[in-house]
Amino acid sequence: MKKSIIYIVIIAIIGVVAFVPGIRNFLKDTFFPVATIENAVHISEEDYDIELKGINAPSTNLKNFKDKGVFLNFWGTWCPPCRKEWPSIQKLYDTRKDHVDFVLIAMNDKEEDVRKFLKENNYTVPVYIAQSPISEKILPKVFPTTFLLDKHGRILIKEDATKDWNTETVHQFIDNIIK
């Protein structure tokens, strides 16, 4: 009798962790916040070479961010999950723009749609549209896709799903690792 109660409790705990997104994400952020830095994938000089047309920032090339920590996000106005994470990205930008550079690249979007989206929502995070091909190493397969790159070009975080970016874990990570 005792063993079956223990099994039921264990199964219930596993079920809660597996099927309740808030708990699953909390545990993931707490225990697995980043990939091991030693095993991080590096972005090469060629991977950084992307001409970027500025929407609410001056036009530039991604290689100008090469020796800096970068929050690199690929998104689209047509993408509901992308739109969902924007408020948390804006809040992160407001508090950490002096610690890491933000580069958000609108994909498969018209410039006027991007401008309208930014204006309607009062978003100020720097947004660009790529004017040259994007390396396969960072070209997203799904949207949104976000990379946190350190100043050595290592991908410390790759998130290819919607995420609340305005968490204490992300703030601490930027403050301590990206420097």
pLDDT tens for residues 128-149?
999 999 999 999 999 999 999 9
How much is the pLDDT for 87? 98
Give the pLDDT score at 3: 74
Closest to 70 in 3D by CA, of 163, 150, 170: 150
Query: How far apart are the C-alpha atoms of 126 and 119, rounded to whole Å?
Result: 13
Q: Which letter does DSSP use for residue 140 in this model?
A: -
Give the span between the Cα atoms of 17 and 19, in whole angstroms: 6
User: pTM, whole model, 2 decimals?
Assistant: 0.79
